[in-house]
Amino acid sequence: MTDTETMSVRVDDGTQTVVAGAFGRSGAEPASARINHRTKTILLEPNIRLYGPINDASVNGFFDQLRSVLQTDKPVVLELTTEGGDAEGGRRIALELRLCREWHKRDTFFVGKTVVMSAGITIMAAVPRDHRFLTRDAVLLIHERRLEKKLDLNGPIRANIQLVREMLAQLETAERIERDGFAEFAQGSKIGLEELSKRATNNCYLTAQEALELDLIAGVI
């Protein structure tokens, strides 16, 4: 592999720009070096900023900021720094990003800064990989969904069997949702769904450079 590789990134007006991804030796040219001025302006002036845990407050804050963006003709540019939080909150934000592309016909961009973990990956996955960017200090954390729930069995056997079946159905549904999210995140990259799922079982940490080498993002800024 050479010290630099280039990739094509589509910007909001449909044009193409070449992004250089730095690989190999230390001190290689940063991926931001060949991002054109227009794309840099888009990425460095996000119109939605989320910082902190993914919870009800951050979801509502996202809605408020998105409402303002949709009153303009600008692309949606989400800047995110989070150590994770509520999985369903992450899925709700991700859904809105998809609707922005599919229903509002808006280009969506993702800029991850410092840390993007857990539920943050769910949000990141909703943006196509050629519109995902990370800052050089960014670290990703990809892991399986966590569930904390007690199952108390007490009473007739058949009633207890039904409780176990309900819990199993909940777990199986969560697993399907997780795999769908991993598939979306890995689409177009050099890492397949099975490999990503395997890594996620042991908490998969990736630097921005590693994410770039795996083609999980379009560039580093």
List, in sequence order, every residue forming a beta bridge with 111; answer none if it has no partner.
79, 133
Domain range list for the chain: 4-220
Predicted confidence (pLDDT) per residue in 184-209, tens digit: 999 999 999 999 999 998 899 999 99
In the structure, what pLDDT confidence band is assigned to residue 211 with cuts at 50, 70 and 90? Answer: very high
Predicted confidence (pLDDT) per residue in 144-162, tens digit: 877 677 888 888 999 999 9
Let me know: does 128 contact 32? Beta carbons within 8 Å: no
List, in sequence order, every residue forming a beta bridge with 116; answer none if it has no partner.
82, 140
Provide the pLDDT for residue 21.
Answer: 41
With H, G, I as helix, E, B as strand and everything else as coil, classify residue 134. Answer: strand
Task: Give the residue carrying structure tokens 């039904």.
Answer: 162
Q: What percent of the chain has pLDDT over 90?
A: 65
pLDDT value at 38 more than 70: yes
- This prediction has a pTM of 0.79
In the structure, what pLDDT confidence band is assigned to residue 127 with cuts at 50, 70 and 90? Answer: very high
**Structural fold of domain 4-220:** 2-enoyl-CoA Hydratase; Chain A, domain 1 (3.90.226)
Tell me the range of 14-23, 35-44, 157-166 where mean pLDDT is highest. 157-166
Residue type for 2, please?
T
Residue type for 17, please?
T
User: What backbone torsions phi and psi does residue 175 show, to the nearest 5 degrees?
Assistant: -65, -40
